[in-house]
Amino acid sequence: MKLLNQSLAYLSISILLIVSIWSVVFYANMLDEIYDSIDDGLANYKLLIINKAAEDSTIFSKNEFGESNYALWPIDKSEAIQVKDSYKDTLMYMLDEDDKEPVRMLTTAFEHEGQYYKLEVISSMVEEDDLIEDMFWAIFWLYLLLIISILLINNIVLKKVWRPFYDFLEQIKNFRVNKDSPLPTMKTRTKEFLELKHSCDQLINHTLDAYADQKQFTENAAHELQTPLAIIINKLELLVEKNSMENSDAEMMAELLQITSRMTQLNKSLLLLSKIENKQFFDNQAISFNELVEQTMIDFEDFASFKEVLVKMEASQEVTVTMNRMLASTLINNLIKNAIIHNQAGGEVIIQLQQGKLIIQNTANNGSLDAKRIFKRFYKNGQSQQNTGLGLSIVEAICKLYGFGVSYQYIEGKHSFCVELEV
């Protein structure tokens, strides 16, 4: 939820609550005040009637309300003693409304010349339901007005206040450590934003330093390891060329050369992995996977025919992906190479290209692989000594870099690797 909407939501809910509570209290107070004033009126009226009764005895014949607002009738003394002044709401038929409407009634008793009378005085009340309705609408409009003004304030004032923040956020999003992009800027006088910028600057500078160190380390590691490897390989080659050794010695040399070349490969793979994980590949371009797969198939032709494995492609459509070319070919290479190596004579490799999917299946030489560990570094299944155990880790690292999904399944005697190319 956007920050602006979030504040709007909180404000609306709290204002709704405040306005509701306020309206209940207000309503209760109003009602109380109205009753109070009606009751005062009734009490006054009562006194007026009692006073009038002293002068005008015709009053005692008013046993019904009729056109006037009171009625009285004689009662016993014992009964009169029990009567206390009481106010209550009751319903009474009103001529103009043609309905029963609430009235306020005062019931009391008084004594006149030794005779006791019971007196009921009524006063028509402001219609309660009308009052509630009126108040509801008043509150509703008030609420609406408040919300609209908050919306406006949010949209105009808050947006203006938060603009530097959003600008900054956008710049941070586009910031790449490996490109020479300038530090994100922020034009603001808001203290918190300035602090944020300051912290971000520190973080970025720290990251840039760490990144530069890391990159330097990667390069140095490459340099430091590749050169001794070059020396070993070249010296061994010169030694074998001398032609002055026994066959068994030469064979040992051959083994050493093979091991050295494995080390070279291992070193290259680890460097590639660290470079992928350090996100050092950025020159993305649209790449046709169909073309790349065809090219890779040609590259592996000899190897596949030596292993007696048939490699075929089933492309239902053209699949184009935007990524670094070298990584794309590494991804495809490693998967196809894997499928050819871990196969059996007479087996096959089927490469499927579908809408956003690359599926590579191969006949398995020995059962299912551990789907959980298969992408882990140095995972080795079987006896292949020459395998560095990094091929699939590199595949996974490349997929992770671009947000592709990669999965392994064992289906009907076949290993199946699926790369979902749509992010």
Partner 1 sequence: MKILAIEDEKELLKAIKNSLEKEQYVVETAEEYHEALDKLFVYDYDCILLDIMLPNGSGLEILEELKKAGKSGNVIIVSAKDSLDDKLRGLGLGADDYLTKPFHLAELNARVKAVLRRKQLDGKNTVEFGNAVLDLGNRELRIGGELVVLNRKEFDILNYFMLNKNRLVSKTALAEHVWGDHTDQADNFDFIYYQIKNLRKKLQEAQANLEIQAVYGVGYKLGES
By beta-carbon proximity to partner 1, the closer residue of 171 and 226 is: 226
Closest separation between CB of residue 248 and partner 1, Å? 9
User: Which parts of this chain interact with partner 1 (CB under 8 A)?
Assistant: 219, 222-227, 229-235, 237-238, 240-241, 247, 250-251, 253-255, 257-258, 261, 264-265, 268, 275, 280, 283, 296, 299-300, 302-303, 305-307, 326, 333, 337, 341, 384-388, 391
CA distances from 130 to 134, 229, 307 (A): 6, 96, 93
Q: Closest distance between partner 1 and the C-beta of residue 315, in Å?
A: 21
Tell the smallest beta-carbon distance from residue 400 to partner 1 (Å): 21
Cα(118)–Cα(186) distance, rounded to whole angstroms? 84
Torsion sign over Cα 319, 322, 326, 331: negative
* Residue 146 CB partners (closer than 8 Å, separation 6+): 15, 19
- If the CB atoms of residues 52 and 235 are measured against partner 1, the closer one turns out to be 235
Nearest Cα residue to 193 out of 7, 3, 1:
3
From CA 405, how far away is CA 288, in angstroms rounded? Answer: 19
Q: CB-based burial of residue 84 (10 Å sphere; 0-12 exposed, 13-18 middle, 19+ buried)?
A: exposed
Which of these, 223, 225, 224, 260, lies nearest to 239 by C-alpha position? Answer: 260
User: Which of residues 162 and 375 has its CB atom nearest to partner 1 in the complex?
Assistant: 375
Contacts of residue 228, defined as CB under 8 A and 6 or more positions apart, other chains included, come to none
212 or 231: whose CB is closer to partner 1?
A: 231
Compute the least distance from the CB of residue 220 to partner 1, in Å. 9
Q: Do residues 313 and 333 lie in contact, with contact meaning Cβ atoms separated by under 8 Å?
A: no
What's the closest the beta carbon of residue 158 comes to partner 1, in angstroms?
A: 45
**Whose Cβ is closer to partner 1: residue 97's or residue 224's?**
224
For the bound state, the minimum distance from the C-beta of residue 14 to partner 1, rounded and expressed in Å, comes to 57
Identify which of residues 88 and 223 has a Cβ nearer to partner 1 in the complex: 223
Q: Measured from the CB of residue 374, what is the shortest distance to partner 1 in angstroms?
A: 15
Number of neighbours of residue 238 by Cβ within 10 angstroms = 9
Q: Are 125 and 37 in contact (CB under 8 A)?
A: no
Closer Cβ to partner 1, 96 or 241, answer by number: 241
Least CB distance to partner 1 at residue 2 (A) = 40
**Contact (CB, 8 A) for 117 and 110:** yes
Closest approach, Cβ 363 to partner 1, in A, equals: 17
Instruction: Rank residues 174 and 258 by Cβ distance to partner 1 and give the closer one.
Output: 258
Tell me how far the alpha carbon of residue 78 is from its chain's centroid.
Answer: 77
Residues in the chain: 423
Nearer to partner 1 by Cβ, of 261 and 322: the residue is 261
Q: Which residue has the tokens 């038929």?
A: 93
**What is the residue whose two structure tokens read 């009738």?**
73
DSSP string, 280-309: ----EEEEEHHHHHHHHHHHTHHHHHHTT-
DSSP codes, 164-197 = HHHHHHHHHHH--TTTTPPPP------HHHHHHH
Taking the complex as a whole, the smallest distance from the CB of residue 265 to partner 1 amounts, in Å, to 4
Q: Which is nearer to partner 1, 208 or 411 (CB)?
A: 208
H/E element, 143: helix 128-153
Distance CA 100, CA 413 (A): 88
Whose tokens are 């309206």? That residue is: 23
